[in-house]
Amino acid sequence: AQKITQTQPGMFVQEKEAVTLDCTYDTSDQSYGLFWYKQPSSGEMIFLIYQGSYDEQNATEGRYSLNFQKARKSANLVISASQLGDSAMYFCAMREPYNFNKFYFGSGTKLNVKP
């Protein structure tokens, strides 16, 4: 069963604008963790941000923030003031509830930032 869904295969955003990348997840458990990773064209996977299911505040890391809506089971990544270097593939991932060893990734969203 699909645990993580990213419905936007590709997106464009104008430089300096904000963009939201969607991520929904599927679990009936209360304890889980959500991650976002960036994969530039060079191929490496770069950790961006983490949100725990019990965290009361939305996570933020510099220009990245996570719009966590627990009731909707969504964990959207918001990038403010997009830069050309933000052009990359972005993956949402979930840590399995109660088995911290297992992780599920979405299919990714390719973001293109236009000058």
Partner 1 sequence: EAQVTQNPRYLITVTGKKLTVTCSQNMNHEYMSWYRQDPGLGLRQIYYSMNVEVTDKGDVPEGYKVSRKEKRNFPLILESPSPNQTSLYFCASSLSAGETQYFGPGTRLLVL
Judged by the rule CB under 8 A, the positions of this chain that interact with partner 1 are: 4, 6, 33, 35, 37, 43-47, 50, 91, 93, 95, 100-108
CB of 33 to partner 1, least distance (A): 6
Encoded tokens for 104: 């599920």
- Write phi, then psi, for 40 (nearest 5 degrees): -70, 175
CB of 40 to partner 1, least distance (A): 12
34 CA to centre of own chain = 8
Nearest CA to 66 out of 94, 88, 41 is that of 94
Is the CB of 102 or the CB of 114 nearer to partner 1?
102
CB of 56 to partner 1, least distance (A): 19
Decide: helix, strand or coil at residue 42. coil
CB of 93 to partner 1, least distance (A): 8
Q: Give burial (CB, 10 Å; 0-12/13-18/19+) of 50.
A: middle
What is the total residue count of the chain?
Answer: 115
Is the CB of 50 or the CB of 64 nearer to partner 1?
50
Is the CB of 6 or the CB of 82 nearer to partner 1?
6
Is the CB of 12 or the CB of 100 nearer to partner 1?
100
